[in-house]
């Protein structure tokens, strides 16, 4: 049974989201302010969090940051359509996706399913391991080790790193990465890829090797030869 926590202070929006998710046989719990959300996150375990940014008590950014201290639970942020800064900050804090308000309930369900597929797919995968100097990726365990130490990645970060690392030396445009890693018609912009690459580079930095290379005017590649 898949359980989703919906954190939204606008009751009509919360009710709408609940109706559409329950139609898809998801179990839905709700919280209407930031403190209630944090309390529920301490007490329960969820497969996905649908998180509004503008909340009473504690905002969505703070909640996202708190969750990412100890968990890779998928997070989809709800943002105002015109607030690009909100979307970028949410991604930088570790959100896996965002949905702009006002949104189509069907689009919301599609995005929830897509994020869940990627998060849950690792457990069903055959054991595949990639080893590079100072870097190990275990797809089945959704595990990354940098310089021998485990590093926590969000499901989206892991998928992006795995996609590049399993295709070394190939250059991919931002649009190709959006299509291949995000896995559906993404309505955002290509800078989403830049944000995730920046986060990955920060997390790989302890290895002292920058595997993800920017190819100016084209995109990115995973470069094995560091000479």
H/E stretch holding 27? strand 27-31
What's the mean per-residue pLDDT of the chain?
85
Per-residue pLDDT of 70-111, as tens digits, reads 788 899 998 875 566 666 777 777 888 888 888 899 989 998
Per the structure block, which two tokens stand in for 204? 């790989």
Average pLDDT over residues 147-151: 87
Q: Which fold has domain 125-222?
A: Arc Repressor Mutant, subunit A (1.10.10)
**Rounded to whole angstroms, how far apart are CA atoms 89 and 199?**
12
- When pLDDT is cut at 50, 70 and 90, the band that residue 161 belongs to is very high
What is the C-alpha separation between 197 and 17, in angstroms, rounded? 31
Angstrom distances, CA of residue 100 to CA of 154, 167, 169, 220: 21, 32, 35, 27
Alpha carbon distance 74, 49 (integer Å): 6
| Domain 3-122 shares a fold with domain 125-222 | no
Residue ranges of the domains in the chain? 3-122, 125-222
In this prediction the pTM is 0.62
**Rounded distance, CA 223 to CA 15, Å?**
47
- Pairing type for strands 3-7 and 48-52 reads parallel
The model's pLDDT over 17-60, given as tens digits with 9 standing for 90+, comes to 999 999 999 999 999 999 999 999 988 889 999 999 989 999 99
Phi, psi of 38 (to 5 degrees): -60, -40
* CATH superfamily, domain at 3-122: Response regulator (3.40.50.2300)
Would you state the pLDDT for residue 38?
94
87 burial level (CB within 10 Å; 0-12, 13-18, 19+):
buried
Buried b (16+ CB within 10 A) or exposed e, 114-141: bbbebbeebeeeeeeebeeeebbbbbee
Q: Which pair of tokens denotes residue 32? A: 């209407």
- Cα–Cα distance, 34 to 56 (Å, whole number): 6
Q: Alpha-carbon distance 91 to 169, whole Å?
A: 26
Rounded to whole angstroms, how far apart are CA atoms 90 and 95? Answer: 6
């Amino acid at each position: 049974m898949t359980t989703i926590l919906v954190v939204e202070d606008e009751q009509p929006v919360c009710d709408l989201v609940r109706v559409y998710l329950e139609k898809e046989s998801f179990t839905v719990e709700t919280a209407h302010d930031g403190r209630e959300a944090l309390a529920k996150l301490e007490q329960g375990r969820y497969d996905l969090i649908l998180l509004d940014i503008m909340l009473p008590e504690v905002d969505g950014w703070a909640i996202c940051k708190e969750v990412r201290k100890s968990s890779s639970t998928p997070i989809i942020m709800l943002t105002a359509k015109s607030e690009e800064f909100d979307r970028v900050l949410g991604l930088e804090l570790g959100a896996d996706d965002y949905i702009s308000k006002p949104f189509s309930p069907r689009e919301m369900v599609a995005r929830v399913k897509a994020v869940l597929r990627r998060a849950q797919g690792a457990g069903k995968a055959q054991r595949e391991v990639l080893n590079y100097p100072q870097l190990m990726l275990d797809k089945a365990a959704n595990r990354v080790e940098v310089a021998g130490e485990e590093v926590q990645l969000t499901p989206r970060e892991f998928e992006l790193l795995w996609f590049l690392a399993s295709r070394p030396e190939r250059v991919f445009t931002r649009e190709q990465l959006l299509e291949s890693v995000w896995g559906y018609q993404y309505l955002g912009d290509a800078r989403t890829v830049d944000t995730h690459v920046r986060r990955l580079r920060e997390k790989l930095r302890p290895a002292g090797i920058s595997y993800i290379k920017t190819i100016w005017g084209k995109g990115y590649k995973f470069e094995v030869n560091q000479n």
